[in-house]
Copies of this chain bind each other. A is one copy, B any other.
């Protein structure tokens, strides 16, 4: 296993290595140990709300499920599944008797391994594990040299390469940007192929149509083998609820396609308070939980035991303009409560990300993203989509933003490692050696520890004013620009079995020839 740029952040790297080793030991399986490149939290979650408060919100969730219900539009099989499960189905409106959704959810695994084609890059989703994954779904890309323009397959592949090269991204993501130069009905083939060809980290497939979800899973079968895929999670699909309280057929059919294949659906309501939900955070939380729980339950009706992630995406709104705002306090607070509620359900959680409304990776962007990512860490999210690159409320994937965010993810590795409390950490001998009024530069304890003592950012400038001035007064954006260009220049693709590559290409060719291009 080679870890590009692993020289950075040595402390986190070492801590992770230690945990990997212990995990592999615990697994007790024969053969080569599974090395887990994700991170494990050594710090507690931040539990914002009292038990009583959580119960109040759970009661509101029950009211929504029992009284208001959700619409499932255009998917008869889905309505049939709900009817069979005991829900109250009238037309496309489905209401859920008390406890029904919760009892179905119990069939879902609390954690599972999301396999990468390189086993050393497989990650555990759930428990104390955390997976950082790049931003998802932007039609545009941005860098400071050429500004904002539409995404393309080349940009898509660039971001796959950057996520592969970053030690702080554990996952290759999904639609890291929209390759708008490829027909809408064939893009998923190129995207899935790019994740496989240019990375060996775990990845996501398409959800924009049932057959595209099926294609994505079929390509995964060519890589992992059909038997392995039948028994293990090797691909994820990100299912968006049509908030408020609606699932359309595209989403339920894709969700069921992933579940049917024993692959992971990530079920995510996106609630912009005041538009797709109420402006008050407590109400938005209740809505989000109701919507997501129903989607999670649907995966279990399709295939009990299928891996699934409960997702959440709360956003706020500018009072002056009605525009969505990101990285604000309300969604950060909401994430903390969503984390508590999801732990009570025993499900893996996707929550928060490096959000911002800024058009560029400036002070606003990083202030907002830092708030949002800290909420992800504190709330106990397991799978953090949008960990790097997000700009402009998700409309643009930024090259420099990707680098700054990935660096912040690196810092969070150290944060998550917590504070060791062994004899070396307490350092009492160093005080005995140094004593009052002396400095610690050369003492034995410093010499023994300084190489791995502190988080060492790859983008921050910590030099003196004079050094910084003489080096050209570069700001963080300029340094990030130089860094992503250097990373792409030095990128080397991971090996891929030529037989698998051929099979994938043949599959793509056949699928592309079978249909005319669609451009919208």
Chain A residues in the interface with B (C-beta under 8 A) = 10, 43-44, 46-49, 53, 56-57, 60, 63-64, 67-71, 93, 148, 242, 244-246, 273-283, 285-287, 316-321, 323-325, 328-330, 332-334, 337, 357-371, 374, 378, 392, 395-396, 404, 408, 411-412, 414-415, 418-421, 424-428, 430-432, 434-441, 445-446, 449-451, 453-457, 459-465, 468-469, 473, 475-477, 480
- Could you give 21 example pairs across A and B, Cβ below 8 Å? A68-B435, A93-B436, A274-B441, A275-B439, A280-B425, A280-B426, A283-B427, A283-B428, A318-B456, A319-B453, A325-B460, A337-B419, A358-B461, A360-B475, A363-B363, A364-B476, A366-B366, A367-B408, A367-B476, A370-B374, A374-B374
6 more A-B residue pairs beyond the given contacts A244-B437, A273-B454, with a C-beta to C-beta distance below 8 A: A48-B418, A49-B419, A246-B436, A328-B454, A330-B414, A362-B477
Q: In the complex, A153 Cα to B14 Cα: how many Å?
A: 49
Chain B: minimal CB distance from A226 (Å): 38
A426 touching B283 in the complex, CB below 8 Å, given contacts A440-B277, A465-B359: yes
Q: In the complex, A368 Cα to B404 Cα: how many Å?
A: 11
B residues less than 8 Å from A285 (CB atoms):
419
B437 and A71: CB pair below 8 A? Answer: yes
B residues less than 8 Å from A455 (CB atoms):
316, 325, 328-330
With both beta carbons as reference points, the residue of chain B lying nearest to A357 in the complex is identified as B462
B residues less than 8 Å from A436 (CB atoms):
68-71, 93, 244-246
B476 and A358: CB pair below 8 A? Answer: yes
With both beta carbons as reference points, the residue of chain B lying nearest to A287 in the complex is identified as B431
A329 touching B426 in the complex, CB below 8 Å, given contacts A367-B370, A440-B278, A449-B280: no
B residues less than 8 Å from A68 (CB atoms):
431-432, 435-436
Q: In the complex, A360 Cα to B359 Cα: how many Å?
A: 20
Chain B: minimal CB distance from A451 (Å): 6
Q: In the complex, A323 Cα to B406 Cα: how many Å?
A: 23
Q: In the complex, A465 Cα to B418 Cα: how many Å?
A: 39
With both beta carbons as reference points, the residue of chain B lying nearest to A404 in the complex is identified as B363
A43 and B53: CB pair below 8 A? Answer: no
Chain B: minimal CB distance from A169 (Å): 17
Within 8 Å by CB of A323, from B279, B321, B463, lies B463
A419 touching B324 in the complex, CB below 8 Å, given contacts A278-B440, A428-B283: no
With both beta carbons as reference points, the residue of chain B lying nearest to A405 in the complex is identified as B367
A426 touching B282 in the complex, CB below 8 Å, given contacts A411-B329, A440-B244: yes
A64 and B278: CB pair below 8 A? Answer: no
Within 8 Å by CB of A48, from B44, B148, B281, B453, lies B44
B64 and A431: CB pair below 8 A? Answer: yes
B364 and A367: CB pair below 8 A? Answer: no
With both beta carbons as reference points, the residue of chain B lying nearest to A331 in the complex is identified as B454
Chain B: minimal CB distance from A311 (Å): 19
Chain B: minimal CB distance from A334 (Å): 7
B residues less than 8 Å from A362 (CB atoms):
362-363, 475-477
B56 and A440: CB pair below 8 A? Answer: no
With both beta carbons as reference points, the residue of chain B lying nearest to A286 in the complex is identified as B426
Q: In the complex, A142 Cα to B392 Cα: how many Å?
A: 29
B363 and A361: CB pair below 8 A? Answer: yes
Within 8 Å by CB of A366, from B48, B363, B395, B459, lies B363
Within 8 Å by CB of A363, from B10, B44, B318, B476, lies B476
B43 and A280: CB pair below 8 A? Answer: no
Q: In the complex, A323 Cα to B468 Cα: how many Å?
A: 12
B residues less than 8 Å from A69 (CB atoms):
436
A359 touching B246 in the complex, CB below 8 Å, given contacts A319-B456, A454-B273: no
Query: Which 7 A-B residue pairings sit nearest by Cβ, starting from the closest?
Result: A283-B427, A245-B436, A370-B370, A279-B453, A278-B427, A364-B476, A366-B367
B465 and A282: CB pair below 8 A? Answer: no
B residues less than 8 Å from A278 (CB atoms):
427, 430-431, 440, 445-446, 449
Q: In the complex, A281 Cα to B455 Cα: how many Å?
A: 12
B residues less than 8 Å from A63 (CB atoms):
428
Chain B: minimal CB distance from A436 (Å): 4
Chain B: minimal CB distance from A178 (Å): 16
Within 8 Å by CB of A370, from B333, B371, B395, lies B371
A419 touching B282 in the complex, CB below 8 Å, given contacts A359-B465, A370-B371, A371-B374: yes
A60 touching B428 in the complex, CB below 8 Å, given contacts A454-B279, A476-B364: yes
A419 and B277: CB pair below 8 A? Answer: no
Chain B: minimal CB distance from A225 (Å): 41
Q: In the complex, A444 Cα to B279 Cα: how many Å?
A: 11
B residues less than 8 Å from A457 (CB atoms):
325, 328
B454 and A316: CB pair below 8 A? Answer: yes
With both beta carbons as reference points, the residue of chain B lying nearest to A337 in the complex is identified as B419
